[in-house]
Amino acid sequence: MNKLEFSFEPAPWEQWLGNFPQGASVPAGGLLTLLEGEEEQELEDALQAMEEAGMELDIRDLPKSFGSGETALRLRQEQQLAEQGISPDALEENDPLRLYLEEIAAIPVCGDEDLLAQDAAAGKESAANALTNLGLSRVVEMAGAFTGYGVLLTDLIQEGSLGLWKAVGSYREGEYSAFRDRWIRFYLARAVALQARSSGVGERLRQAMEDYRQVDQRLLSDLGRNATVEEIAQELHLSVEQAESVRAMLENARLLQQAHPSAEDEETPEEAEQAVENTAAFQMHQRIADLLSSLEPEEARLLTLRFGLEGGKPMTPQETGRILGLTPDEVVAREAATLAKLRK
């Protein structure tokens, strides 16, 4: 009897995520665009894979969304509340969010988080409970940064609390606060991505990318040079911030395609030479070099190792840590701080 052989091709999202090093930040808009038309379980599976790989989910390329009706009014109010600092005094007395904020404010919290984290990792349930209570106010603080994307604050806080509990239960070593914040941030971003998916954001982003590409090509022909983001935004009737988000998505897609071309996309030597001369590509690489030069040598070295910016293979936090004498959590924390510095 012949043995049956089964061969399972990786899903497109698996191939796409495979281009990112462990612990990297993945654009949510790109993921939703890739999964447009797929079952929701595919997005759940992709998010689970990212969670297991310690990846971040970056929602900055997602459009702000408030919907309509009473929910839209509440979402706008909550965004204003977050901008002013989430305080129960700014809410009605019987507001569920106010009641929750008052409830966690009344919980007695004390103790050193790092010591409690070590005790919790050793299996002490009382330490885990105390660590959770200490982290609830941090969940509320971080949830404020995720308002304006169509998810109510109460739902964000609930999802962020799941991230907190995940951090408390899985922490073993390293800087606890960075570890905790990473898990809270991932679950907050996860809630936003799932809401965006249900609102059909993936399809709208795909169309926005196509519109941006067409306008960029037309302006190149009309102006005889590469158009600025401001000029493209004006043509598309978008804000500069929105156009910049679409441009970043296109750039990510282009880089990934160049790194992993399909057989039919392989270039001839003449096409490859033309691609090298492409002005937009040259400017992009020059921009990366300029950004790295603005960092401290240690910061630039860390990003270069993590993302293979000098032609090497991207390294995991563990591999990078061994070279730089850091723990994996310290690598992730410093990477996040350095990327935040670049964004500013």
pLDDT tens-digit map of 146-165: 998 889 999 999 999 999 99
Q: Residue 143 in 3-state DSSP?
A: helix
Which pLDDT value is given to residue 257? 53
pLDDT tens-digit map of 71-121: 888 888 888 998 888 888 888 989 999 999 999 888 887 888 999 999 999
Kindly list the distances between the CA atom of residue 169 and the CA atoms of 33, 131, 164, 205, 327, in Å, as whole numbers in the listed order.
33, 10, 9, 36, 19
Kindly list the distances between the CA atom of residue 177 and the CA atoms of 107, 124, 218, 334, in Å, as whole numbers in the listed order.
20, 19, 49, 12
Has residue 8 got a pLDDT over 80?
no
How confident is residue 35, by pLDDT bands cut at 50, 70 and 90? Answer: confident
* Domain ranges for the chain: 69-198, 283-344
Q: Which residue has the tokens 């701080």?
A: 337
Exposure string for 254-265, b = 16+ CB within 10 A, e = fewer: eebeeeeeeeee
Has residue 281 got a pLDDT over 50?
no
Closest CA to 329 of 183, 220, 110: 183
CATH architecture of 283-344: Orthogonal Bundle (1.10)
State pTM to two decimals: 0.64
Has residue 2 got a pLDDT over 60?
no
Which pLDDT value is given to residue 5? 47
How confident is residue 3, by pLDDT bands cut at 50, 70 and 90? Answer: very low
